[in-house]
Structure 1
């Protein structure tokens, strides 16, 4: 019995020390890159990671890599089913000991809606603050250009989207088709979308999604006022085209998603936890000082 008690005491002390190492210090940060990018590009996510580490002493920053290499990570941003990516990320977060007490999440471009899906589907470990920087939360209806050196790849994606975004094989394999939202054919979008229509509660209402998103301390939506990448840019604040045409727009506050509080956004707003930020620039074109002043100082420190 005495030996058993010693073993239990040792286990308790180990767990206490391990838990303390997780919970003490600044809240860890998880970041997810956008289309055409990778976890570790020194000019994009690598730069963001260094900026966070420079301004929040001793913070742990995990930049998500979807695959086993930078090249695979980049390609998966185009050709890996989003739901499979979400499942992969949920597993990565669940097994990362440094995140078990909770983490803050920052998603860039399509990484914004992907991390929202993580918040809705995988509440353990807990996401504390969700910051979407140019995320397309109501999807897109246009594919104007690509960042970086991926124009050839983007032209191929354009052809696939033009061929048929809601063809089963394309929905299953092309990331951008999975958040393609055709306002001229809303019924087909709701029926065939394998990702966006689900997380936006447009196929059926999943109360778990709502409950999990309501656990956030803050949800921050950044819109780029001169965005030439996202069509329409209002999607970054959950706005979109009025169904049946592609000119007139509605705002989040006019949408059933908000008025019926399907995701809890209305409740988050009523309790001061839904925030709308802007940058008067093109897509993801912000200065370090803007990021420090509006994101790090306000929500991560």
Structure 2
């Protein structure tokens, strides 16, 4: 009789534990928008609502970098990226609803910047990180330019490179901070205040790799018809072969991957690095695609 009661008590506590597991709130999601957008406008507002509709009880925080929507938009162009990341880390660490961890979601340049949060601010813990069209190897091209055969595009690229690494421009113009000139790599690596640092192209910071490897999943979304990001392969960590701007390398052909500066190879070897795509232009995806590929797989 005593044995039966003990078994009943054990079963009761097992049931309580199972109930706690199945009824706990879903992990929150933190969103970082792209350039020209804001935390709370129509685009990010619709994404926030979509996640909330699909995952009952979820808390979604869309980062506002500044004290107003206007400041948020302007800072996306003109505020030093490192300062933005510091601000984002504080917004996250000060939010009581995020203290048990969260999933991270970045759009376009917000994908790179959110990776900066992952690498620099691992507390609270980030479980899944999804980058939607983030330019992780930077850009070397003009949005909507008609390809490599355009002489005008080449001229504009050279002009941008001429001024991109001037210290005042690097410190204050956001796109310059991820301008990656394959024809001028020494200057890029020495003067890039953001991208060269988080990609371990100058000195190797073991903490960056260590923190990225804490992720449960790292998801990279590439837009196969992208006319905004040049080259679009940057969204999967690919980029131009050094010394020219024609031949492209996949992520697997880069020293960043082969020498595993960030931990991408280890993430891939352990099934935690995911390459997804949408056969559309930049940030053009349907709700159905987002629900099927992102929400259902990584936020539920």
TM-score (norm 2): 0.87
SS of the aligned residue for 1:187 comes to helix
Report SS of the residue matched to 1:278. Answer: strand
> 1:79 and 2:78 equivalent?
yes
Work out whether 1:27 is the aligned partner of 2:27: yes
User: Secondary structure of the residue that 1:183 maps to in structure 2?
Assistant: coil
Q: Which residue of 2 aligns with 1:37?
A: 37
Task: Specify the alignment match of 2:236 in structure 1.
Answer: 237
Q: Which residue of 2 aligns with 1:253?
A: 252
> How far apart in 1 are the matches of 2:92 and 2:252?
32
Moved >3 Å (runs of 4+)? 157-163
Q: Quick check: 1:105 aligned with 2:74? A: no
Task: Evaluate the alpha carbon distance shift between residue 202 and residue 163 of structure 1 in structure 2; reply closer, same or farther with a 3 A threshold.
Answer: closer
Q: Which residue of the partner structure matches residue 66 of structure 1?
A: 65
| Matched position secondary structure for 2:137 | coil
Question: Given that residues 33 and 111 in structure 1 are in contact (C-alpha distance below 8 angstroms), is that contact kept between their aligned partners in structure 2?
Answer: yes
Distance in 2 separating the partners of 1:111 and 1:127: 16
Render the CA deviation track for 1:192-238: whole Å, top value 9, x for unaligned.
00000000000010000000000000000000000000000000000
Q: Report the aligned-residue RMSD.
A: 1.8
Distance 2:88 2:274 in 1: 25
The offset of 1:161, in angstroms, is: 3.5
Deviations 1:84-108 (A, max 9, x none): 0000001111110000100000100
Secondary structure of the residue aligned to 1:201 is coil
Q: Describe the superposition over 1:152-181 as per-residue Cα deviations: whole angstroms up to 9, x where unpaired.
A: xxxxx9999365000000000001000000
Distance change >3 Å, CA 160–CA 128, structure 1 → 2: farther
User: 2:285 is matched with which residue?
Assistant: 286
Offset of 1:142 from its aligned partner?
1.3
Select the structure of larger CA radius of gyration: 2
Structure 2 residue matching 1:118: 3-state secondary structure: helix
Report the more deviating stretch, 273-282 or 23-32.
23-32
Distance in 1 of aligned mates of 2:248 and 2:78: 30
Give me the TM-score of the superposition, normalised by structure 1.
0.87
Instruction: Give the count of matched residue pairs.
Output: 269
Alpha-carbon contact 1:128-1:217 (below 8 Å) kept: yes
- Asked if the contact 1:160/1:170 (under 8 Å) is kept, the reply is no
Which residue of 2 is the match for residue 6 of structure 1? Answer: none
Contact 2:161/2:181, CA 8 A, preserved across alignment: no
Is 1:263 matched up with 2:250? no
1:182 aligns with 2:181: yes
2:117 counterpart residue number: 118
* Cα deviation, residue 144, structure 1: 1.7
Deviation at 1:145, TM superposition (A): 5.1
Q: Conserved in 2, the CA contact under 8 Å of 1:35 and 1:77?
A: yes
SS at match of 1:50: helix
